[in-house]
A and B are shown apart, each in its own frame.
Chain A
């Protein structure tokens, strides 16, 4: 009995870690949808590019040939590690955030007043472009993610263990989610984002610089996606050009599950999906985890078409 309970606890820990990554990516989908009513299918590639930028920054900063004695400092002490990972995340967030802004400027903005299918197709195009750019210019093979982060297992209940990496992921994600939630609720820019999401034209008439709001949204979403990408690389140990595809679809599902356009919904959806998946593969079969995850989605959409926290709007246009 105790052993079974420990297994359940362990699966919950697995699910929460997976869910926290889904939640981060789902925020990117939901932010863009909330403001532009557009599904940014290139978002999964922000996740992938983030993982690559993080990997290269990490290997660059720990390579003594490039940074000399700094490498020993970064790897040697706890303080060095904190600085190292702060740098890795900040560099990846800025780089991928800028990439997101570029994509918006050149692939979506010209189509902003086009029929809604056009930007969707453009997004798919950007996704294919980015995947193939990495494939051609970086590597066709999967790259291993070096284990620089000191991973230790901590026993919490029976045989159930939580690793320091899992704690690190969860704590970082909670900090980021709280920060974003507060930002949108409290700041001037956050207010502008909410206003734009309610009615873009009216917000523009009230003197809000719509382009600035949209550009900012396309910085924040991809930057969060980049963090999730690095976590994914650190957690599973590998970075690959098509690594964004499946987490991207799952996170989009999470955003829909929670109510697309709703920030807290995306977070709830992400965690819920991660936990359901882990429990399903742990207690049914790994082959059925997606089946169970999507059954949950279908059930939620049958009974609450707007998602768990989304309001049912019949037609927003």
Chain B
């Protein structure tokens, strides 16, 4: 190596070292401070964005984005000099991808918490990653009861569980809809199986007949053989534990195959995309329960709808936009509470993150979806469930 080359080599190494110092220097101490006490922190949004229930996942991003805008404009955030930035992680509704996203979030030293995930099957393994890093996680949508029963102090949710939703759906099916014989199908995910189990148990207890139970996959498109099997048992209701992607195809193929009984499901079916994929003619008369009350009936619902349509004029809120707004807001307001005690710059350090978890556990306030407070497991105390049906191609509450 000649002298000139060697010099250049040394210079390159020196530049790299400086860059490395700057990069790790920023990262090491957590929240980045720029200028006069201004702190920028991240809030993770973990949702299926390219695969899986993307219509619901994109709704989660919308809801969280609205909440971030609101909190950044609030007096508290300005006084403390904290700005929140939403970081999206695409979990594709897949547990493996979800854990990757969780690890990515956990390696972000500026993270205050995670709003997510959608699918229970993703939330459960991801929550273990967050627990190790003292990161608070609030799911707006994961309804499998197991999620909050694993003794993880950092895990919360603003939607109620399938231990509530399943039985309410069964009671509604029997008393409101007068159904007596049901065929139960699930999609083999923790969400779908849990919901279908809870529904089935209550339906049986209340004197209904279970004609059969079948497992499918959440990525199945062919239900023709299953439909033939269901048709032979002559049910007056088909219950599906799963998400609208496959659920809509089941609804379509049931009607195509000559099954006249309506399809009923949980919050995973309650999305306009269900009607689009199944076709309005096939979806009409199908049922879904979903968590909480309809937005129109909530005190803050109207103002949320107004704010929503100002920011997203071409969209309509999906099932979890408002829940995601609430979940993100609880995380950010708790982060502000923690910042007051530990200081804005160390809010993403270990003590700051523990203070955030404590603040979320003690949180009590009015959200878009109703009063928000958590029990000792981290479940919401708001246990309302609403039954919806498709009429003329549009989901609406059953009167």
Contact = CB atoms under 8 A, between A and B. Distances in A.
A237 B276 CA distance: 10
Interface residues of A, number: 36
B307 to A, nearest CB: 25
Interface in B222-251: 222-226, 228-229, 231-232, 245, 248-249
Interface in B50-65: 50-51, 54-55
Interface string B246-264: 0011001100111000000
B51 A3 contact: no
B228 A286 contact: no
Interface in A240-288: 242-243, 246, 277-279, 281-283, 285-287
A232 B273 CA distance: 20
Contacts of B380: none
Interface stretch (A7-15, A101-109, A111-119, A220-228): A7-15
Main SS of the interface on chain A? helix
Interface stretch (A58-66, A85-93, A138-146, A300-308): A138-146
B54 A11 contact: no
Contacts of A161: 257-258
Contacts of A246: 219, 221
B59 to A, nearest CB: 12
Contacts of A197: none
Contacts of B258: 153, 161
B129 interface: no
Contacts, number: 85
Interface string A162-184: 01000000000000000000000
Given A14-B225, A18-B224, A287 B273 contact: no
Interface string B202-222: 000000000000111101111
Contact of B232 (A3, A163, A236): A3
A279 B228 CA distance: 10
A18 B224 CA distance: 9
A182 to B, nearest CB: 31
B277 A277 contact: no
5 contacts: A7-B232, A237-B252, A237-B253, A238-B277, A287-B216
Interface of A: 3, 7, 10-11, 14-15, 17-18, 135, 140-142, 144, 147, 151, 153, 159, 161, 163, 232, 236-238, 242-243, 246, 277-279, 281-283, 285-287, 289
Interface of B: 49-51, 54-55, 185, 188, 214-217, 219-226, 228-229, 231-232, 245, 248-249, 252-253, 256-258, 273, 276-279
